[in-house]
Amino acid sequence: MESDFDLLDAKAILEWQAELGISEAISEKPINRFEKNADEKSIVATFNPDATSVNIKSQSAIDEAVLIAANAKNLLELKSAIENFPHCDLKRGARNAVFSAGSSAAKIMIIGEAPGREEDFQGVPFVGRAGQLLDKMLFSIGLSREESDVEKSVYITNVIPWRPPENREPMQDEIDMMLPFLKRHVELVEPKVIVAMGNVSCQSLLGRRGITKLRGVWVEAFGLPVLPMLHPAYLLRNPVAKREAWSDLLSLKEKVFT
């Protein structure tokens, strides 16, 4: 009887941890990975006379990414190229590469930031709570990722195809390394407009952050109109901001369908 009770307790604890977003068992002691990365960078800069070698390695990976991405003649080849790209360390800790969802013939291309826990499990972008909210937002203006009608469909991808550890923000070198693939992705899809969801997307496409100031103002990237929007995850934390999101959705609808 005591054994059964222990098992139930263990199950309850695991479910509670999952609710908190704890999804990886790494070690018996907690590790502050942000601090660890900062320490590593500090050590390299202070004690390594050849500290620029890290940048040289990153630049080499970026140059290789440019060549590989340019050689992708279609989306299937691009997906394969991303999955086989060996230089982004995020790949090592992820379960799946998250490529896209929706119709590649759609006029609207939504670019998110990076996969979360559910996206990593399923290999599909925006399928967690934020993704469910995004679907409701799109539905409110007559759009859907599941829609076969090109006029009512959207195409969704991310700046980063692999989930960062503990859902941290992607680092700049990771963004730079994957940006050639994103540019090629846009070229192959040929959307009419792009929606940049969140700070990381704006940083990647526009070189700027501050989504609360950028949102709702049409700009240009990759030769296309871009609408910065608040990420659905932000809206879940700040429901009052849904008013601004609704205004942006109406602006998107007007831009594409009038």
Q: Where are the beta strands (DSSP E) in the chain?
A: 101-102, 108-112, 154-158, 193-197, 219-221, 224-229
CB 101 within 8 A of CB 156: yes
Amino acid at 147: E
Query: Residue 5: what pLDDT?
Result: 46
Q: In the chain, where are the structural domains located?
A: 59-257
DSSP 156: E
Correct CATH for 59-257 of 3.40.190.10, 3.50.50.60, 3.30.9.10, 3.40.470.10: 3.40.470.10
Spatial distance between the Cα atoms of 153 and 143, rounded to a whole number of angstroms: 6
Spatial distance between the Cα atoms of 104 and 189, rounded to a whole number of angstroms: 6
Query: Residue 258: what pLDDT?
Result: 82
pLDDT at 10 over 90: no
Question: What angle, rounded to 10 degrees, do the helices at 172-189 and 52-70 form?
Answer: 10
Measuring CA to CA, which residue among 174, 177, 98 is closest to residue 131? 98
Instruction: Render pLDDT for 95-148 as a digit per residue (tens, 0 to 9).
Output: 999 999 999 999 999 999 999 999 999 999 999 999 999 999 999 999 999 998
pTM: 0.79
Number of CB atoms found within 10 A of residue 220's CB: 11
pLDDT at 52 over 70: no
Instruction: Render pLDDT for 195-237 as a digit per residue (tens, 0 to 9).
Output: 999 999 999 999 999 999 999 999 999 999 999 999 999 999 9
C-alpha triplet 200, 125, 115: angle, nearest 5°: 50
Spatial distance between the Cα atoms of 206 and 91, rounded to a whole number of angstroms: 25
Residue 55 banded pLDDT, cuts 50, 70, 90 = confident
Spatial distance between the Cα atoms of 191 and 107, rounded to a whole number of angstroms: 5
Q: Which residue has the higher pLDDT, 137 or 42?
A: 137
Spatial distance between the Cα atoms of 131 and 138, rounded to a whole number of angstroms: 10
Instruction: Render pLDDT for 246-255 as a digit per residue (tens, 0 to 9).
Output: 999 999 999 9
Token pair 């559910």 in the structure block, residue: 118
